[in-house]
A and B are shown apart, each in its own frame.
Chain A
Amino acid sequence: MDLRNALLRVAARRPHVLIIGGIGTDRLRARVEQEVGRRHWTNAMAPADTDVLVVVGQPGRELRAVVDDVWATVPAPRARLDVRNEDEVTTALDDAVTVLQDLSAQRAGAPRDGLRSERPSVLSGAHDEHDDSSHEQGSGHEDHDGGHHHGGGMELPGGLAMADLGDDRDGLALDQLHVPLGPVLPEWPSGLVVDVVLQGDVIQEARSRFVDLDDLDATERLPAAARALESAARVLALAGWDGPAARARGLRDAVLFGGGSSAGVLEELDDLRRRVRRSRLLRWMLRSAEGGRSEVLGALDDKLLSARAAVAGGRGEAPVAVDLAALDARLVGAEFAAARLIVAVADPLPQPALTRPTDLGGAS
């Protein structure tokens, strides 16, 4: 047997999987995640680290373009799957391994040395270099004031607007960067895109929206308990607490797909809640400025509590709908890591960005 074939065979046995889904694909996505976890495969963090790209559901026009962009940046050996319903999940993942192990197919389908497409990668916020017309070589101007200001919104070959200048929170004029966050980011609500203006890693402006909202009628929502657990899992994973995050995901799967008695689920939920409550370090890390109570931590506890109520057979509170405008307002001024937590905790429902009463409730 060819050596390269053999190497490929071994390497493909535990691939890293990147799952992309639009709005309303949460259940199917959860099913894929469950299967990936059961096989001890790894969830990829970025396209560069991806072997298998799983597209769940039927992405709309905008998301499909994003998926194509992401796919163009996935290095070979690679496999791309479309999963439309839950019965396909197991066979699709089995097929992925076969594709990964097929040397000739990989050769034929390899991207040009990882070169990116012409369109900007929405995912990574990659963008093009800094144009600087005021710094022309050898212009020799004496009174250089360090300014390389130029109107924003100018498009470069890479497609993104370049950085421009703005006041930071200490009153210094520093560079700003316009970057879209999502829709493909780890622990990110399906289909959400937040266009932000970044200065360093502080968010100065934010505008969130959902892609492909026209397909909203196709949306199927997760039951309240599963949704709350999913959101809690995201918060825990973003806080870098992988063990409890995986446990929350396991509980979500138990709620969605059965497996484990209701009493067992309740017991483990209580256990998880106790651990989250008891962790002083988590409290320290999630503490926020306003009020003595940690907003993120409080919301996390609320989510686990409401999930528990729903599992126990109570009606369970309906998830608090977070207005996109309210989310934008919360994001302004947040440091990047804090902003990720705010989004994970807010867990906005797909909705057009119409005005709603600004009620944050306990959700942010």
Chain B
Amino acid sequence: MSVALPLGWSVLLPVLLLAVAWAAVAADAVVAGRAAGRPVPWTVAAALPGREALRLLVGQRRRAVAGDELLRGVGGAVLPIAALLAAVVVPLGLRPVADLGAGIVWFNAMEVFAWAAVWLVGWGANSTLSLIGGYRFVAQGLAWELPHMFALITAAVGAQSLRVTDVVAAQQDLWFVVIMPVAFVAFLLSVAAMAFWGPFGAPLDRDIAGGAAAELGGVDRLVFMTGRWLLLVAAAAMAVPLFLGGGHGPWLPAWAWVLVKTLAVLAALVALRHRIPTIRMERWTEFSLVVLTPATIAQALVVTLVGLGEGGLS
């Protein structure tokens, strides 16, 4: 009972993701300018992603002395590909590009490719600061993976299916965010963490001079940074089918609702980013394992018990 979109959409999907990422970068620049007390005009911000991309496109590529160029290249290429593959299970409207039976697990599997990608880029550059960035992200990933996984599983339990379209269908009357708020919050935070972005951007932070990306120049840097934004957009878009009712909603068509909700999630993340400092992993890891993981397990348990009480497994 696959309800996947026609194959042509797989070509359109990257374009859609890039467009949303473009908007997110521009919004980020505007909010950053306001937070810094030096407002950036809308016109400048709207052109910013294109100009930065162009700047990197005409820029020279860089090769590290005695670096592992092969691994670095693989890492850089894997990041955007993983983001795109993660996005294929997100319904654009009510139908995804690929309606996989284990779609939720697929999404998570593609996300963790980012760990390998960032580590490879950090390692391959043969620079200490890059390496620190690379393994900061591994620590971050490990700290986040359990809460993230439990948040995903809670949504799957609520719908009693790992298929993303089933999860959307189960939310026709009631959005999951209402019955599983803890899982939603954990998911929202871990989305930013998995994309090593914003308050969770320690792997690329200023204190290590750009971290994993410190040695990237030209088109390598463009691919890596684009991959990061695509990952953020894909993950933010995934919050919509899992917790925010997917394409369900009055008046507007399903695709419009998905777009509006995705943009709202991104807007919330961008606003959050400029309100808080970077979250350091040596502080967060313990919190994640001691507080967040039990909280998400308890959330999954509650949803399970409610599911059983309402008639058990079908």
A240 engages B35 (CB within 8 Å): no
The chain B residue with its CB closest to the CB of A268 is B37
Contact B278 A239, beta carbon cutoff 8 Å? yes
Answer yes or no: B209 CB below 8 A from chain A CBs.
yes
Asked if B58 contacts A247 (CB within 8 A), the reply is no
Q: How far is the CB of A272 from chain B (nearest CB, A)?
A: 10
Chain B interface: which of A122-130, A136-144, A302-310, A347-355?
Answer: A122-130
CB of A124 within 8 A of CB of B132, answer: no
Is A123 within 8 A of B205, CB to CB?
Answer: no
- Across the interface, A240 reaches (CB within 8 A) one of B48, B55, B125, B277, namely B277
Chain A nearest CB, measured from B245 CB (Å): 30
- Encoded as 1 (CB less than 8 Å from any A CB) or 0, chain B from 276 to 314 comes to 111110110000000000000000000000000000000
CA distance A113 to B206 in the complex (A): 26
Which of A129-175 touch B at CB < 8 Å?
Answer: 129, 157-158
Q: Which of B58, B65, B280 contacts A77 (CB 8 A)?
A: B58
- Asked if B214 and A128 make an inter-chain contact with CB atoms under 8 angstroms apart, the answer reads no
Write the chain B residue with the least CB distance to A73. Answer: B62
Q: Mark B192-224, 1 if CB is under 8 A from A, else 0.
A: 000000010110011111100111111001000
Instruction: Please report which residues of chain A, range 102-121, place their CB below 8 angstroms from some CB of chain B when the two chains form the complex.
Output: 110-111, 113-116, 121
Instruction: Quote the shortest CB–CB distance from B205 to chain A (angstroms).
Output: 6
Chain A: residues with Cβ within 8 Å of the partner, total of: 70
CA distance A285 to B282 in the complex (A): 9
**How many angstroms from the CA of A240 to the CA of B196 in the assembled complex?**
13
A198 & B128 in contact (Cβ 8 Å cutoff): yes
Whether A10 lies near B54 (C-beta < 8 A) is: yes
Contact B37 A187, beta carbon cutoff 8 Å: no
Verify A340–B35 contact, CB threshold 8 A. no
Say yes or no: A48 contacts B278, CB within 8 Å.
no
- Minimum CB–CB distance from A70 to chain B (whole Å) comes to 11
Taking CB atoms, residues of chain A closer than 8 Å to B276 are: 241, 279, 281-282
Residue numbers in A under 8 Å from B128 (CB-CB): 124-127, 177, 179, 198
CB distance from B200 to the nearest CB of A (A): 10
Indicate if A75 sits at the interface (CB-CB under 8 A).
yes
Given contacts A124-B215, A127-B128, contact A243 B54 (CB under 8 A): no
Contact of A243 among B36, B65, B214, B218 (CB under 8 A): B36
Task: Give complex CA distance A293, B206 in Å.
Answer: 25
Q: Tell me, yes or no, whether B10 is within 8 Å of chain A by CB.
A: no
Q: A76-B60, A126-B215, A281-B279 are in contact. Are A247 and B36 (CB under 8 A)?
A: yes
Per-residue interface assignment for chain A, residues 209 to 225, with 1 indicating a CB less than 8 Å from any chain B CB and 0 otherwise: 00000000000000000
Least Cβ–Cβ distance between A164 and chain B, in angstroms = 15
Do A281 and B208 touch across chains, with their CB atoms under 8 A apart? no
Q: How far is the CA of A189 from the CA of B63 in the complex (A)?
A: 29
The yes or no answer to B231 lying at the interface (CB within 8 A) is: no
Which residue of B is nearest A335, CB measured?
B282
Q: Which residue of B lies closest to A128 (CB)?
A: B66
**B-facing mask of A43-82, CB < 8 A → 1, else 0?**
0011011010000000000000000000001011100000
Contact of A282 among B32, B132, B277 (CB under 8 A): B277
Measured in the bound complex, the distance between the Cα atoms of B129 and A198 in whole Å is 11
Q: Is A263 an interface residue (CB 8 A)?
A: no
A194 to chain B, nearest CB (A): 13
Q: Which residue of B lies closest to A129 (CB)?
A: B66
Alpha-carbon distance A285/B277, docked complex (angstroms) = 8
Interface check A238, CB cutoff 8 A: yes
* Interface bracket on B: 35 or more
| B277 near A246: Cβ-Cβ < 8 Å | no
CB contact list, A1-47 vs B, under 8 A? 4, 7-8, 10-16, 37-38, 40, 45-46
B221 CB → nearest A CB, Å: 7
Decide: A126 and B132 in contact? CB cutoff 8 A.
no
Say whether A124 contacts B277, CB under 8 Å.
Answer: no
Give chain B residues whose Cβ lies under 8 Å from the Cβ of A336: 132, 207-208
| Residues of chain A in range 195-254 having any CB-CB distance to chain B below 8 Å | 198, 200-201, 236-247, 250
- For residue A93, CB closer than 8 A to chain B, the reply is no
Q: With a CB–CB cut-off of 8 A, which chain A residues contact B129?
A: 46, 124-125
Within B24-41, the residues touching A (CB, 8 Å) are 32-38, 40
B136 within 8 A of partner (CB): yes
Which of B44, B55, B125, B209 is A51 in contact with, Cβ under 8 Å?
Answer: B55
A186: chain B residues at CB < 8 Å are 206-207, 209
Q: Give the chain B neighbours of A341 by CB distance below 8 A.
A: 207
Smallest Cβ distance from B55 to chain A, in angstroms? 4
Return chain A residues, CB-CB under 8 Å to B161.
none
A14 CA to B125 CA, complexed, in Å: 26
Is there contact, CB below 8 Å, between A240 and B126? no
Partner of B214 from the list A48, A114, A177, A179 (CB cut-off 8 Å) is A48
User: Contact between A187 and B217 (Cβ–Cβ < 8 Å)?
Assistant: no
Among residues of A, the one whose C-beta sits closest to the C-beta of B199 is A240
Report how far A7 CA is from B232 CA in the complex, Å: 28
Measured between beta carbons, the chain A residues less than 8 angstroms from B210 are: 45-46, 48-49
Whether A114 pairs with B63 at a CB distance below 8 angstroms is: yes
Q: How far is the CA of A119 from the CA of B57 in the complex (A)?
A: 28
Name the residue on B nearest A237 (C-beta): B206
B residues within 8 A CB of A322? none
Task: Choose from A10, A11, A246 the contact partner of B38 (Cβ within 8 Å).
Answer: A246
Asked if B221 and A48 sit within 8 Å, CB to CB, the answer is: yes
Q: List 8 A-B contacts (CB under 8 A).
A: A8-B58, A14-B51, A45-B210, A48-B62, A48-B215, A126-B126, A201-B135, A240-B205
Q: Which residues of B contact A (CB under 8 A)?
A: 32-38, 40, 44, 48, 51-52, 54-55, 57-66, 125-130, 132, 135-136, 199, 201-202, 205-210, 213-218, 221, 274, 276-280, 282-283
* Further 8 A-B residue pairs, CB within 8 A, beyond A51-B59, A243-B34: A48-B210, A124-B127, A126-B64, A185-B209, A243-B37, A250-B37, A285-B279, A335-B282
User: CB within 8 Å of B: which residues of A?
Assistant: 4, 7-8, 10-16, 37-38, 40, 45-46, 48-49, 51, 73, 75-77, 110-111, 113-116, 121, 123-129, 157-158, 177, 179, 185-187, 198, 200-201, 236-247, 250, 279, 281-282, 284-285, 287, 335-337, 340-341
